[in-house]
Amino acid sequence: MSKVRLAIIGNGMVGHRFIEDLLDKSDASLFDITVFCEEPRKAYDRVHLSSYFSHHTAEELSLVREGFYEKHGVKVLVGERAITINRQEKVIHSSAGRTVYYDKLIMATGSYPWIPPIKGSETQDCFVYRTIEDLNAIEACARRSKRGAVVGGGLLGLEAAGALKNLGVETHVIEFAPMLMAEQLDQMGGEQLRRKIESMGVRVHTSKNTQEIVQQGNEARKTMRFADGSELEVDFIVFSTGIRPRDKLATQCGLAVAQRGGIVINDTCQTSDPDIYAIGECASWNNRVYGLVAPGYKMAQVAVDHILGSENAFEGADLSAKLKLLGV
């Protein structure tokens, strides 16, 4: 009996969980598994990314037990990106010129940070808060800076603000909505959170629509200009203004993609091609993309069970989350 050729595009938290669950429930010898890992390191814990500033080792965040992939014969292509999928031939072409054939394909491409179309947002010392490499760049900049701003007062933005504060930088949070964490809290909860965060020394600016970021000559300092006419001078900016599903590969190979983004999946996490599954932040179920890891883990479990012939279904997920900010 020939092995099932299983390709996984993405080695983030959800892609790794899929592999763990598959190998827990079946024999590794039944599969020939190839994983495309675009980042320079294997799966790590993004949920606790801010803790990287404390211990400064990627190993502390790693989700992969030493020798785990090797023990189970899983081939991980570190630093290699899938660039095209030919569904008719069931073949993937990579950035390294590699050709990988599959019987079943798992799309676990995740999401990318979305930055609003603000003039000047592409200038030097404007960052996103997504990978270990992002955090290395932010920390290096913070060492030579006095004041930083985080654009976005949601869950991740407040965690980023806490990290900047711990780096010794005067920290400002800029939020478009009239309150922090507007999607999770009511007005009273938002006001209480604001008071708590301000008591920790983080300065909060709500109802602020950033219109332009102006670099001051050859200096590192920038001026943030807002729609209400006010301004704020900072040395660097971290954007935490939401995510968008990474569905470009799916679009290019003709898979169904939701109008608002995300690879369309059914209750068994299959895409419009029954041999291709999508899990995590790249997937759209019932026109909804889940930006939290718990729903992604559930999708991984459902996809594994379906591939192995067991009954399971994705039926939505709990959207509660915990803020990890200076003890809040």
DSSP string, 255-282: --B-TTSSEEE-TT-B-SSTTEEE-GGG
Hey, how many other C-beta atoms are within 10 angstroms of the C-beta on 206? 16
Residue 328 clears pLDDT 80, i.e. is over it? no
Confidence of residue 88 (pLDDT cuts 50, 70, 90): very high
Q: What is the pLDDT of residue 140?
A: 96
Residue 210 clears pLDDT 60, i.e. is over it? yes
Put simply, whether the predicted model's pTM sits higher than 0.85 gets the answer yes
Residue 123 clears pLDDT 90, i.e. is over it? no
Q: Which phi and psi (to 5°) does residue 29 adopt?
A: -70, -10
Helices (H), strands (E): how many in the chain? 9, 20
Torsion (CA) 54, 239, 244, 49 in degrees, nearest 10: 0
Contact 239, 127 (CB under 8 A): yes
Residue 326 clears pLDDT 60, i.e. is over it? no
Q: Rounded to an integer, what distance in angstroms lies between the CA atom of residue 285 and that of residue 264?
A: 6
Q: Rounded to an integer, what distance in angstroms lies between the CA atom of residue 123 and that of residue 73?
A: 44
Q: What is the pLDDT of residue 206?
A: 96
Domains and CATH numbers, the chain: 4-112+243-307 (3.50.50.60), 115-239 (3.50.50.60)
Mean pLDDT for 248-258 is 98
Confidence of residue 53 (pLDDT cuts 50, 70, 90): confident
Q: Which of 224, 219, 187, 189 is nearest to 205 (CA)?
A: 224
Mean pLDDT for 283-304 is 96
Q: What is the pLDDT of residue 317?
A: 83
Q: What is the pLDDT of residue 54?
A: 80
Torsion (CA) 184, 186, 188, 190 in degrees, nearest 10: 40
Residue 59 clears pLDDT 60, i.e. is over it? yes
Q: Which residue has the higher pLDDT, 273 or 122?
A: 273
Q: Which residue has the higher pLDDT, 51 or 310?
A: 310
The tens digit of pLDDT for each residue in 216-245 reads 876 668 999 999 999 999 999 999 999 999
Residue 56 clears pLDDT 80, i.e. is over it? no
Residue 185 clears pLDDT 90, i.e. is over it? no
